[in-house]
Structure 1
Amino acid sequence: MTTQPDSGSLIHVYGSDRVIHRGLMQLVLMSILAMAMMAISAINVALPSIESSLGASNSQVQWMLAGYALVYGMVLVPAGRVGDVLGRSSVFMVGLAVFALGSLGCAVAQDPIWLNAMRIAQGVGAGIASPQVNGAIVQYFNGLARAKAFAMFGLVVSVSVAVAPSITGVLINWLGAETGWRASFFWNVPIGVTALVAGIRWLPFETERHRRAQRATGTLASHRIDLDPLGMVLLTGSVLCTMMPFMIKTLASFGLLLVAGVLGFTWVRWERAHKARGGEPMVDLSLFAHRSFTNGVLVSGVQFLGATSIFTVLALYVQSGLGVSAIVSGLLGLPNAAASAWASLWAGHRVLNNGRRIVAWAFVPHLAGIAGTMMIAHFVESGDLDALWLAVPLVLSGIGVGAINSANQTLALSDIPVEMGGTSGAVKQVAERMGTAVGNAMISGTLFAGTAAAGWALGFQLAFGLIGVVLLVAAVLAVLDLRMLGPGTATNTWVPARSNDLEP
């Protein structure tokens, strides 16, 4: 049995007299998404200060970036499955608490080993909580309201990644290098605590209430909970072995890709066999029969392969290559964030009828922004323009990425059943995290190779050129998706879950 949305913004929770406001619930849900995304990009600006403060080695600095992303990607799908079965609200709260504690640990770290351990804790918390956001939106929002909710999802992702370096730069400039980098982690603590308190009041905890009701009536024991632990181990191992080589970056480590392939193949065979025997697989592979989902995952995975490296490359180039301060480096992302926010909301209001057309055409300004940044960088190098001019063409990229993330999120999950909401969102995020890991390694490697050969100017041009090529591939995939499935989505009505959807 499940709660059905009421008209307007209110929903009545099953088994309770509580009334939940969707807007307030969404505010709580977006808190972890914002912090998780900011944790990816904020550290780029803080790394020089951290390295100096803690005396970190190059490998330790590398793991400050890689450890978070690696664990985040590993935890997503198992956490999505647990939330779908045991209750998304409770699992979300656990993840949020772990992330906040990890952030506090980072802020007070006195050596690189402790900081890396706490970054891993942040990644665990983010990976636990993030899939619950997708699942809750699929469950409690319908039609245009769902499209707007996913528009906000896309807005938060785009803006958080872009604005975090600016905030970190301001903190370091204002508080000094030592206190500033610590503050860039500590800001998550009051936000996390506030979200935890608000979550107690504004999250529905519906599945949990249903399970308590079953326990009270003695019917819970008749239902076997199947979390598919072997499936979790196999997929987690495959994700780990896929992402690890691109973070370690040694020749021997790429042998793990063979292990990843074997584990992935074994996982697929196990999931099919487990379902055939009457079990409940962690990921029901029929999920990929939804072409809207499969195509959306492909587009976003390739887009993340290129786009998420933009501000990493930019921060390295302007700080190390041009000698620009951390605050100026951070400020370069603000216009991009504002443009992305506007485009996310604009696309969210139009996605139902024209979503795929929006995604395909949004790659035009995205690519134009990359080309424009490369051109402006040439004049910055020659001294004809100030480094702040690099922010101007990135406004176009902000428009593109905001519209793409917003519309694609809605399209990819438009046909997904409610009971698969968390798992499907987690699968999509895993593709994005893997794209981010591979892209960062590939594009930063290109940057450093070009820099070693002929200086920062060539390295930057080669890295941004590679970003453009990757985005062009994503654009082709978006056009193919448009031709295959048409411009919009037919999901304009909410289909209520079956009466046993919330039963384990």
Structure 2
Amino acid sequence: MVERPAPGPGTAPLDADRGGQQRRGPALGIGLVAVFMTLLDVSIVNVAIPSMERALDVAPSDVQWVLSGYALTFGLMLVPAGRFGDGHGRRTAFVVGIVLFTITSAGAGLAPTATWLVAARLLQGAAAGIVNPQVTGLIQELFRGPERARPFGLLGATVAISTAVGPLLGGLLIHIGGEEHGWRWVFFVNVPIGVLTAVLGWRLLPRRAHRARDRHQFDPVGVLLLGAGVLLVLLPLVQQHWQGPTKWLLLPAGLLTLAGFAGWERWYARRREPLFDLRLLGIRSYRLGVVVALLYFGGFTAIFFVLTVYLQNGLGHSALAAGLASTPFTVGFAIASVVGGRVVNRFGRPLVAVGLATVVVSLVVVVLVVNRVPTGATVSWWTATPLFVAGLGSGLVITPNQALTLAQVPVPRAGGGAGLLQTGQRIGSAAGIATVGSVIFSAQGATGDWSVAFHHAMLLTSGVVAIALCVALTDILIDRR
């Protein structure tokens, strides 16, 4: 029998909701469905880009905002939304987030112009950022001690697989809906699932007894400084139609704003509990783990973008064929994610380093293989094996790195630590797509050759993952000394 701690201030007993512990499983299931749906939209849109370009005359900069804007607003909302759920009830925050996500998904699917689509994606990302921290908090609320291992393992697998399987599901939806309007179904599919999830979430998620409000401030200044800093860094990369060298002045302005954000958070932490507790970066394993996550998600998310754009725009493949090309990566990812979560405590950071090295080598092999594909041969057959191996490597990175990064974080600060880590992952995704997208569209515009653009973009992605590998190796060397 699991011993339950007595309810303390601000805490309700597990049986406060009428369903009690019998409803923990269904509640967790609804939460995982929501996580899968919101993270699926990080990558499912990749295969829809060519269809969007034809239907709405979408410019390259709009394409990058459709992809990276979602990840950016997603990341910025995670910690504030988690704090709101702590103080005002997770069920309310969860259902509000799902309703907003459903509405904005419908809005994206109905978009008559590129500007409308970009705006809908920004709002959709913010809604996803409201939903996800409620699921993490729900696990902490409903499960105790060793009981949490299984639900957190399921959550990690959901996060990993949802991102990797996106291109395949997107290709299937476009194939069913047709090349002209199939891209809209990539968004419309969220509507019935979202409605059902909102209804079941309201019924199954526990309604807690009255508890003390969270007295911590939301720190809007910190959120605004972080958002403005990242936006200033991304703008010159995304807005390729801006001419002249002056646009690059936004980069140092963005870095100065981020430095101001760091200074503000340290000042704020001396007076109240900040949203982003940068004091955690004083823990070496946490600091290096956050950097690995930020860099790896910058490369990992861009892989699907580069591959699907090249196969469709460069080689004229269908959306379904482009989605199927990423399937080997997804299979390898799913297999290794399970294994990595089980053996991470035995091997530690070297396991992550092995995974990163495997991804780097495999992506370079993909580039070499594509260079040598015989005329008329199907590229996806030639890239299947190295992409499968890259998936295996990726499965040894994400969940193990998260476990190692949070291992030495004090329990009272674990929630904030996880929030900062996830924010770094989402911002890494946004920056990675913006940077790699800038390279692939610039190279294609300069040479008119999608093959050259693909090579440049994939090598850049490999380089970003290689930097993450250097950070992991640094951690290993320091440990040995």
Answering whether residue 285 of structure 2 is matched by residue 292 of structure 1, we say yes
Identify which of 325, 350, 353 aligns with 1:357.
350
Deviations 1:363-395 (A, max 9, x none): 233223213312321232544554333222100
Q: How does 1:293-442 map to 2 (within 5 A)?
A: 293-380=286-373, 382-384=375-377, 386-417=379-410, 419-442=412-435
Amino acid in the other structure paired with 1:241? L
Residue of structure 2 in register with 1:495 after alignment: none
CA contact (8 A) 1:109 1:115 kept: yes
Identify which of 214, 222, 226 aligns with 1:231.
222
Residue of structure 2 in register with 1:259 after alignment: 253
Deviations 1:80-135 (A, max 9, x none): 33334444443233222211111122222333333222212211101222233344
Residue of structure 2 in register with 1:471 after alignment: 465
Q: For structure 2, which runs of at least 5 residues remain unmatched after alignment?
A: 7-11
Residue of structure 2 in register with 1:167 after alignment: 169
**Farther-moved stretch of structure 1 (114-123 vs 444-453):** 444-453
CA contact (8 A) 1:369 1:394 kept: yes
Q: How does 1:20-419 map to 2 (within 5 A)?
A: 22-137=24-139, 146-206=148-208, 209-211=209-211, 224-249=215-240, 250=242, 251-277=245-271, 279-380=272-373, 382-384=375-377, 386-417=379-410, 419=412
2: distance between equivalents of 1:86 and 1:42? 32
Deviation at 1:329, TM superposition (A): 0.6
Cα separation, partners in 2 of 1:227 and 1:332, compared to 1, 3 Å: same
CA contact (8 A) 2:310 2:454 kept: yes
CA contact (8 A) 2:15 2:21 kept: no
Residue of structure 2 in register with 1:498 after alignment: none
**RMSD over aligned Cα, in angstroms?**
3.0
Cα separation, partners in 2 of 1:229 and 1:459, compared to 1, 3 Å: closer
2: distance between equivalents of 1:269 and 1:166? 43
Cα separation, partners in 2 of 1:150 and 1:387, compared to 1, 3 Å: same
Deviation at 1:291, TM superposition (A): 2.9
CA contact (8 A) 1:151 1:344 kept: no
Q: For structure 1, which runs of at least 5 residues remain unmatched after alignment?
A: 215-219, 487-504
CA contact (8 A) 2:295 2:468 kept: yes
Residue of structure 2 in register with 1:490 after alignment: none
**Farther-moved stretch of structure 1 (347-356 vs 268-277):** 268-277
2: distance between equivalents of 1:128 and 1:142? 24
Amino acid in the other structure paired with 1:478? A
1: distance between equivalents of 2:38 and 2:337? 19
CA contact (8 A) 2:292 2:472 kept: yes
CA contact (8 A) 1:82 1:91 kept: yes
Deviation at 1:15, TM superposition (A): 3.7
CA contact (8 A) 1:169 1:327 kept: yes
CA contact (8 A) 1:41 1:312 kept: yes
Deviation at 1:465, TM superposition (A): 1.9
Cα separation, partners in 2 of 1:157 and 1:459, compared to 1, 3 Å: same
Deviation at 1:485, TM superposition (A): 5.2
Cα separation, partners in 2 of 1:97 and 1:163, compared to 1, 3 Å: same
* Runs of 4+ with deviation above 6 angstroms: none
Cα separation, partners in 2 of 1:303 and 1:225, compared to 1, 3 Å: closer
CA contact (8 A) 1:335 1:395 kept: yes
Q: Secondary structure at the match of 1:227?
A: coil
Deviation at 1:313, TM superposition (A): 0.9
Cα separation, partners in 2 of 1:241 and 1:385, compared to 1, 3 Å: closer
Q: Secondary structure at the match of 1:380?
A: coil
Deviations 1:290-324 (A, max 9, x none): 33322211111111122211111111211122221
CA contact (8 A) 1:155 1:402 kept: no
Deviations 1:434-472 (A, max 9, x none): 222332233233334444337232322222222222222
CA contact (8 A) 1:92 1:128 kept: yes
1: distance between equivalents of 2:441 and 2:193? 36
1: distance between equivalents of 2:146 and 2:329? 26
Amino acid in the other structure paired with 2:109? A
Cα separation, partners in 2 of 1:447 and 1:285, compared to 1, 3 Å: closer
Cα separation, partners in 2 of 1:259 and 1:466, compared to 1, 3 Å: closer
2: distance between equivalents of 1:448 and 1:247? 10
CA contact (8 A) 1:328 1:388 kept: no
Q: How does 1:483-494 map to 2 (within 5 A)?
A: 483-484=477-478
Deviation at 1:231, TM superposition (A): 2.9
2: distance between equivalents of 1:135 and 1:224? 17
Cα separation, partners in 2 of 1:82 and 1:473, compared to 1, 3 Å: same
Cα separation, partners in 2 of 1:245 and 1:477, compared to 1, 3 Å: same
Deviation at 1:406, TM superposition (A): 1.4
2: distance between equivalents of 1:355 and 1:24? 33
CA contact (8 A) 1:246 1:437 kept: no
2: distance between equivalents of 1:415 and 1:72? 26
Deviation at 1:16, TM superposition (A): 4.2
* TM-score, with structure 2 as normaliser: 0.86
**Farther-moved stretch of structure 1 (114-123 vs 193-202):** 193-202
Deviations 1:165-194 (A, max 9, x none): 222222222221234111111111222222
Residue of structure 1 in register with 2:453 after alignment: 459
